[in-house]
Amino acid sequence: MTIRSRRPGANAALLPVLLTGALALAACSSGGSSPAPQSGGAPAGAKTLVIDTSFDLKTADPGRTYEPTGLIIGKATYETLLTFEGSNVTKPVPALAESFELSKDGKTLTLKLRQGVTFADGSPVTADDVVFSLNRVRDMKGTPSFLLDGVQVEKTDDTTITLTSEKANPALPYILPNPALGILNSKVAKENGATADTGDKAEQYLNSTSAGSGPYTIESFNVSSQVVLKANAKYWGQQKPVYDKVVIRNVEAATQKLNVSRGDSQVALNLSGDQVSGIPGTLQVKKTPSANVIFLFANQDPSISKVTSNPKFAEAVRKGIDYAGLLELAGDGSVQAPGVIPSMLLGALPPDSGITRDLEGAKAALRESGVTNPTVKLEYPSELTVNGLSFQPLAERIQANLKEVGITVELAPAPVATALDNYRNGKEEMGLWYWGPDYPDPSDYLAFLPGKLVGLRAGWKAGSDRALEAAGDKAALTLGDEARRQAYVDIQNKLNASGPFVTLIQPSQNIVTAPSVTGLEFHPVWTVDVADLGVK
Amino acid sequence: MSSKDPSGPVKDSPAAPPKPGRPGRGGRRHPLARFLFRRVVTALLLALGITLVTFVLTNLVPGDPVAANLGQRALGDPAIVAQWRAEHGLDKPLPQQYLLHLQGVLQGDFGMSQQSHRPVADDLAEAVPATLELAGTAILISVVLGVAFGVVAALRRDRLSDHVLRVVSLVGISVPTFWLALIAFYVFFYRLQITPGSGRIDPGMSPPPTVTGLYTVDAALAGQWDVFSSALGHLLTPALVLALYTIGLLTRFTRSAVLEVLGQDYVRAARAKGLPPRVILFRYVLRSALVPVITVAGLAFGSLLSGTVLVEAIFAWPGVGQYAYKSATSLDLPAVMGVGLVVGCVYLVINLIVDVLYGIIDPRVRMS
């Protein structure tokens, strides 16, 4: 746009001209809003699915993947030996393996490999690929390597793999579906720097393209803006990918809502309960309790706090919280968490067994503790949102609740990266955090016991509660669904009676989809299986 | 560059050949060259200072990058932690880390990003053009509209169009950019449905082959006109949102600068001599009024860059703002330093350009 020189006498005409120019400029922008964006080489009639999500993404290398967005991508591009059907995480089913069997002592898992399965480049998936991929995850010491801690992977013959653990490992079939354990095309991976040790250099390659057998492959990958998947034309399975292209974009929740309402995207993954309530009726809304459990803890280490390590303090907090109020805050679809294990997993406490507020009981417990007018510091990640729920209002509500009990809570928010430091080092007097399952098996929650990962963060050292620790050790080795369920219910009841944790809520996972999208199920591990999505 | 002094009366006789340089003290080089040299040297020293400041600030941030990048369970293994530290050069003393960093930067190596596991330089090469395209378009729009509005308002002082423009500019200055971005997105995209949505192009399209990294330019070069129109469409709303503040600022400054010049004796003299108003406006008034306007435009570019962080978030624009946010929250120190350096240098370059433009427009500046 240029400004022509005009006679000053004609200045009166200048303003309308300029304004018209500005409007014309704005009007140009409608040029790009054609409803069927098909270009850049895509064939006519090609179907594109756009998924908006707030990125939590570091890598597309399955052996290093541990973030929600990464798991969505991993699930679409790689396949695992076992998987889950739909949203049912209580029963692992075969995937690349056609059958599996856990030995009587729970130590050996034998898997028969499916035949005729090929990678995206057409080469067959072999037992050697499986052995290499699993060993790589375990020995590379990336974030998900703990999944296979102490598990030996061996090829018995060309169609049989055995996984051997030192102790009974009933959780293993529930661990194997994790997209981090996706099977790589080992030849391609090795050519690009993959080694099954800490010197592995394949990540950069695996961030530019995928080397799996999944229904989709990676077309482009940008860790902060968008990931584009394209259909694997050689996909071996019966159910071929429906969309030619899947674009997963990093979009703020508020923008996600507008995008999906307007039809600019077909799936929005991160809307809060509030945002979903104003969504147009034509869209499909899926509300499910997420597998994330938000909890409070009171540090048990007297050197960190004389107040919170007092045995009666946690009880006062537990009785003093207004759980119904928190649920209101979290919005539709969220549920109270009666224990650390979320509702959809084996061993979860019944939904109606959650504690209700008992203000008098809380005050009594505080009196019994002998601490008068305590002041405690509550640390939490300030900008973290879980399923659209921000920690800030949650912390403020807890502060108000405990004020009524007679506990003064000082809020100490910090950015996640900073807050994590104190939390992981067990230095927080009180903390507000959440835990999502590493794998959908109750044994993952043994981390809350004394001397274990989360227990230590709450200053709960090994030996603090020997009975509970023994119960945990026993539960880890227990076989059989009913016996395991009993064991974990028992552990949670004990945790609620004397532990430092106060479990609050499971916020709702709200997924909004366009009317055209079919087959969406919320999954606690990989959020959504892109390949399950169809079109009406 | 004309050898005539535009603000004074014509005094050179046509016979006198233009002199190559002014006979200053010593008279070794053209004053403009000397002026440029001085400014560039200062800029380089400042760039060095920026590397130091970004390095120090980045390393002062509380929080352990190891904890932020390694998994919870890997953290329990001291050998892995030590290896990670060694791999990322975190085991060396800070001064040595700084020197290594500086050495790398001089070779165009900003280190490896801990989050994308790619060279930071590659990440920036993707993010910087996106932001430049956005901020550049915004500054272009604001200079054109802001100066034009300012001139119109000054020439039509106290008339209706002046009042309207002044209100508009006041609104532009006062409204927070992120709020405006949300409102613009809501109104134009969602309600009126006349603008496209998030990102740089429609999600179904592939980006044009990279030449400059600016999608509009690259698409035009490749002759992909549908991509071009999509890229332009996606660009205009965020650019206009970003521009509004600067438009407001420039309108006000241009208006007052033009009014001031209009009151000067030489303008009156020119008018008295019967020079056509067009000549007076463009040769005398605008030229003198441009000096303060350039200053403001340069400074505004800075606020524009910080504005992009939020506008990029709202429009899901994959630029430096989003990259910086992501790097900072994951304590990706090399990336944070890279962003700090690039943004700092952009400021430097802008300042340099402003200074040089000064020198060209107003010779008195380069003489001082």
* CA nearest neighbour of A377 among A418, A417, A414, A335: A414
Residue B244 CA to residue B145 CA, distance in Å, equals 10
CB contact (8 A) between residue B316 and residue A250: yes
Q: How close is the nearest chain B Cα to the Cα of A169, in Å?
A: 19
Can you give the residue range of the structural domain that contains B190?
Answer: 120-367
CATH number of the CATH domain containing B295: 1.10.3720.10
Query: Does any CB of chain B come closer than 8 Å to the CB of residue A467?
Result: no
A509 forms bridges with which residues in the sheet? Answer: A288
**Which fold does the domain A16-74+214-288+508-536 belong to in CATH?**
D-Maltodextrin-Binding Protein; domain 2 (3.40.190)
Q: How close is the nearest chain B Cα to the Cα of A310, in Å?
A: 28
**Is A48 strand, coil or helix?**
strand
Q: Is residue B63 part of a domain?
A: no
Query: So what's the pLDDT on residue A5?
Result: 32
User: pLDDT of A457-513, one tens digit each?
Assistant: 999 999 999 999 999 999 999 999 999 999 999 999 999 999 999 999 999 999 999
User: pLDDT of A73-92, one tens digit each?
Assistant: 999 999 999 999 988 898 99
- Which chain B positions have a beta carbon within 8 Å of A226's beta carbon? 199, 203, 318
Query: So what's the pLDDT on residue B367?
Result: 58
Query: Does any CB of chain B come closer than 8 Å to the CB of residue A392?
Result: no
What is the number of CB-based contacts under 8 A between chain A and chain B? 227
CB contact (8 A) between residue B233 and residue A145: no
- Which chain A positions have a beta carbon within 8 Å of B199's beta carbon? 225-226, 249
Interface confidence: ipTM more than 0.90: no
Residue B238 CA to residue B181 CA, distance in Å, equals 7
pLDDT range class, residue B7, cuts 50, 70, 90: very low
Chain A 183-202, CB below 8 Å of chain B: which residues?
198
Q: Is the pLDDT of residue A2 over 80?
A: no
Residue A387 region by backbone torsions, left for phi larger than 0, else alpha for psi between -120 and 50, else beta: left
Rounded average pLDDT over A183-189? 96
Domain total in chain B: 1
Task: Round the average pLDDT of chain A to a whole number and report it.
Answer: 88
Rounded average pLDDT over A426-450? 94
CATH 3.10.105.10 describes domain A293-506: yes
* Joined tokens for residue A248: 């997963």
The pTM for the full model equals 0.80
- Which chain B positions have a beta carbon within 8 Å of A42's beta carbon? 204-206
pLDDT range class, residue A67, cuts 50, 70, 90: confident
Residue A409 backbone phi and psi in degrees, to 5: -105, 120
**Is A380 strand, coil or helix?**
strand
- Which chain B positions have a beta carbon within 8 Å of A223's beta carbon? 115-116, 326
Q: Is the pLDDT of residue B281 over 90?
A: no
**Is A305 strand, coil or helix?**
coil
Rounded average pLDDT over A288-307? 94
Q: Is the pLDDT of residue A20 over 60?
A: no
CB contact (8 A) between residue A224 and residue B277: no
Q: How close is the nearest chain A Cα to the Cα of B254, in Å?
A: 15
Closest Cβ opposite residue B240 in set A26, A39, A204: A26
Q: Is residue B363 part of a domain?
A: yes
- Which chain B positions have a beta carbon within 8 Å of A261's beta carbon? 190
* CA nearest neighbour of A307 among A375, A402, A405: A375
Please name the residue that has the structure tokens 């603090």. A464
Q: Angle A323-330/A391-405 helices, nearest 10 degrees? A: 160
Q: Is residue B326 part of a domain?
A: yes
* CA nearest neighbour of A221 among A41, A37, A47, A55: A55
Task: Round the average pLDDT of chain B to a whole number and report it.
Answer: 81
Please give the full DSSP string across B29-55, using - where no structure is assigned: S-HHHHHHHHHHHHHHHHHHHHHHHHH
Please name the residue that has the structure tokens 């959440």. A434
Residue A480 CA to residue B243 CA, distance in Å, equals 65
Query: So what's the pLDDT on residue A303?
Result: 95
> Looking at per-residue confidence, does A196 or A134 come out higher?
A134
Residue A147 backbone phi and psi in degrees, to 5: -55, -30
Q: Is residue B144 part of a domain?
A: yes
Query: Does any CB of chain B come closer than 8 Å to the CB of residue A25?
Result: yes
- The answer to whether A48 and A37 have CB atoms below 8 angstroms apart is yes
Rounded average pLDDT over B212-234? 92
Neighbouring residues of A106: CB distance < 8 A, sequence distance ≥ 6:
A165, A167, A168, A169, A170, A477, A479
Q: How close is the nearest chain A Cα to the Cα of B76, in Å?
A: 9
Please give the full DSSP string across A224-290, using - where no structure is assigned: SSEEEEEE-TT--SSS--S-SEEEEEE--HHHHHHHHHHTS-SEEEEE-HHHHHTS-TTSEEEEEE-
Residue A508 CA to residue A292 CA, distance in Å, equals 9
User: pLDDT of A237-289, one tens digit each?
Assistant: 988 999 999 999 998 888 899 999 988 999 999 888 888 888 888 999 999 99
- The answer to whether A160 and A99 have CB atoms below 8 angstroms apart is no
Q: Is the pLDDT of residue A17 over 50?
A: no
Query: So what's the pLDDT on residue B18?
Result: 43
In chain A, domain spans: 16-74+214-288+508-536, 79-200, 293-506
CB contact (8 A) between residue B148 and residue A31: no
Q: How close is the nearest chain B Cα to the Cα of A447, in Å?
A: 11
| Surface-to-core class of residue A147, CB atoms within 10 Å of its CB (0-12 exposed, 13-18 middle, 19+ buried) | buried
Query: So what's the pLDDT on residue A197?
Result: 85
Neighbouring residues of A240: CB distance < 8 A, sequence distance ≥ 6:
A215, A231
Rounded average pLDDT over B130-136? 90
- The answer to whether B247 and B149 have CB atoms below 8 angstroms apart is yes
CATH, range A79-200: 3.90.76.10
pLDDT range class, residue B176, cuts 50, 70, 90: confident
pLDDT range class, residue B336, cuts 50, 70, 90: confident
Query: So what's the pLDDT on residue B330?
Result: 75
Closest Cβ opposite residue A226 in set B182, B226, B318: B318
CB contact (8 A) between residue B115 and residue A265: no
Closest Cβ opposite residue B316 in set A9, A26, A251: A251
Q: Is the pLDDT of residue B93 over 70?
A: yes
User: pLDDT of B29-83, one tens digit each?
Assistant: 777 788 888 888 888 898 899 888 888 887 777 667 776 666 655 666 777 778 7
- Which chain B positions have a beta carbon within 8 Å of A22's beta carbon? 145
Q: Which amino acid is at A144?
A: P
A13 to chain B: closest CA residue: B152
What is each CA distance from A415 to A419, A433, A505, A507, in whole angstroms? 6, 13, 22, 21
The helix (H) or strand (E) run that includes residue A98 is strand A97-102
CB contact (8 A) between residue A383 and residue B329: yes
Write a three-state SS string for B145-206: HHHHHHHHHHHCCCCHHHHHHHHHHHHHHHCCHHHHHHHHHHHHHHHCCCCCCCCCCCCCCC
